[in-house]
Amino acid sequence: MSKEIKDLSYEQARDELQKVVSELEQQNVSLEASMALWERGEALAKHCESWLMGARKKLDAAQKEKGE
């Protein structure tokens, strides 16, 4: 059973996204399964982007705090 995306770390989400892409590239799945993989991949990509945006905000805040 897959973990809820919201509970995944950035690394876990990125790794699962790579697996999803690999499965889609192999084209050994039905259309229905492909659609489910695509949807999960989209959600994983958004989750990763959210993590990266959060990290960027923290870096920007730290730089402002240092006066850079």
Q: Which CATH number goes with the domain that contains 48? A: 1.10.287
User: Does residue 2 lie in a domain region?
Assistant: no
Q: Using DSSP, state whether 67 is helix, strand or coil.
A: coil
Judging by beta carbons within 10 Å of its beta carbon (0-12, 13-18, 19+), is residue 5 exposed, middle or buried?
Answer: middle
Tokens of 2: 């897959």
Contact 8, 22 (CB under 8 A): no
pLDDT at 28: 85
CA distances from 60 to 5, 10, 18, 21, 55 (A): 26, 19, 28, 32, 9
User: What total number of domains does the chain contain?
Assistant: 1
User: Does residue 41 lie in a domain region?
Assistant: yes
Digit-coded pLDDT (tens) for 45-64: 999 999 999 999 999 888 88
What mean pLDDT value characterizes the chain? 91
Digit-coded pLDDT (tens) for 31-48: 999 999 999 999 999 999
Predicted model pTM: 0.80
User: Does residue 45 lie in a domain region?
Assistant: yes
